[in-house]
Amino acid sequence: KKRMSATAQQLEERLEELEKQLALRDQRLASLLATYNWVKKKKPAENPGSSHDEEQRKILKPTVSSVRATELLNDLYGISILRPLKELDSYDDVNFLVVAQGTEGGGEQRFTLKIHNGVESKDYGILEAQNKMMLHIRASSIPCPAPVPNCTGDLISFASLDTLGGGSCRLAVRLLTWVHGATMSDIGSDEETLELSGLFLGKITSALRGFDHRSAHRDHAWDVAKTSSIRGFTKHITEPKRRCLVESVLDAFEREAKPAASSLDKAIIMGDFNDANVILATGSDVLPCDKVVGIIDFGDMVYTWRVNEIAIAMAYAMLSSWGKAGNHCAAAGAVLRGFARTCHVQEGEIRMLRVLVACRLACSYTYGMYSFSKDPSNKYLLLHASPAGRALEVWWQEASEDALLDLIRSAVSNHYPLKWEINLTEQKKTVPSGDQSGHEMEEGSSNDVLVTS
């Protein structure tokens, strides 16, 4: 009797476990079916990338309180927080820093809860592509976030949430692992740090060779190859001289870059390599070669001209703390020097860089001014927009075309060791043979050039 009773109890427990598993399976099937029906009914005009979509991103930006975000964490991911959520800076989405209990009984875990705007939320494919891109890069030992499955095992969740334009919308939600360190925009930059960040970008570019996803083949407003699309937004530039400056860049893009398009190599790029997305180590004893430790934010990934990756990085280097301190062109050159140590820059790409860097600055300034007009409480929108106008003046008006071409060629071709590599070499010379310590130097050489702006 006792044994039969024990067996019956075990069967009841097993049945309960199977019922739970079936319930989770049904929930997942329902979620996948809803997503499938939504994508199937989506109109082609709603695809992200058009000027209309850039306007919609501002209207459909989430307005989610920390209380509502905490509920999402519990409902979708079964996570209880250790401390109140902290909202992070974001352009079109809403991000929260999540601190939760560690999985192995001690310490804590950190995540980013990312709630997407209404435009990207309608494009399930591009969110899936971002997830796959992050996992691909991590497989090459490059630190970046990783998507965390929800309670039903899905990497992308959905919830009905309020938006800036009023009313609610079905928005995509993702939970991403945290990359430890601090952003370059928080720590600050110098010439060496910018060069190291370029080296890191070169490693990302190399890791992405051969990576593809059909959803990355899209029209995207921030794609440098689509610079002409900002013409409809120049009316939001209130200063006439700046507006004329941007329009002259657009004319040069259509005159020089478009005809060369067929000769430029194409690839999927990260598309937003700036000081707010580059993660640096925070310890005081970190060797320079270990200073850049990660990259975040893959929302602008796109299949485009490969050279656009370094053009974007050069443009944003001019907006870094060191670049803005009177070193605009030198900052752009520093990033390019680092990048060229890992990735070959072709002659056709060299000739296009002056125009393409200007294109990104023009986009950043124009879209920033437009976005701020729609959301004046979000000062983050001016982080790059305001200095981009000044950087564009330096790059496009004050520096001569010949001087910039010389800068670019020098950065790509002039090689000699970085200061930190020289220091490591000197240290190794003083260490007896067989008792060497510290990090191995990376192979390759650097380039340097003195440029003032």
Q: Which of 287, 318, 338 is nearest to 384 (CA)?
A: 318
State the amino acid at position 215 in one-letter form.
S
Domain ranges of the chain: 61-178, 180-418
The torsion of the CA quartet 283, 379, 312, 187, rounded to 10 degrees, works out to -10
Where are any strands of DSSP class E within 180-281? 182-183, 266-269, 278-280
3-state helix, strand, coil in the chain (%, to 5): 55, 15, 35
CATH code of the domain made up of 180-418 = 3.90.1200.10
Task: Specify the residue for token string 């820093």.
Answer: 97
pLDDT for position 51: 59
CB 93 within 8 A of CB 61: yes
Give this prediction's pTM: 0.80
pLDDT band at 71 (very low <50, low <70, confident <90, very high): very high
Query: Alpha-carbon distance 213 to 203, whole Å?
Result: 20
3-class DSSP state of 292: strand
Residue ranges of alpha helices (H) inside 212-327 are 240-252, 307-317, 321-324
| pLDDT, tens digit (0-9, with 9 covering 90-100), for 381-411 | 777 788 999 999 999 999 999 999 999 999 9
Supply 78's token pair. 């079964």
| pLDDT, tens digit (0-9, with 9 covering 90-100), for 160-213 | 999 988 888 999 999 999 999 999 999 999 999 999 999 999 999 999 999 999
pLDDT for position 402: 96
DSSP β-ladder status, 278-280 and 182-183: antiparallel
DSSP 344-388: ---HHHHHHHHHHHHHHHHHHHHHHHHHHHH-TT-GGGHHHHHHH
Query: Alpha-carbon distance 322 to 331, whole Å?
Result: 7
pLDDT for position 164: 85
Domain 61-178 matching CATH 3.30.200.20: the answer reads yes
pLDDT for position 24: 62
pLDDT for position 104: 67
Q: Which of 412, 285, 263 is nearest to 343 (CA)?
A: 412
Q: Examine the pLDDT at 81 and tell me if it is beyond 50.
A: yes
Q: Which of 222, 240, 249 is nearest to 362 (CA)?
A: 249
CB 332 within 8 A of CB 316: no
State the amino acid at position 210 in one-letter form.
G
| Phi/psi-derived region of residue 22, left when phi > 0, alpha when psi is between -120 and 50, beta in every other case | alpha
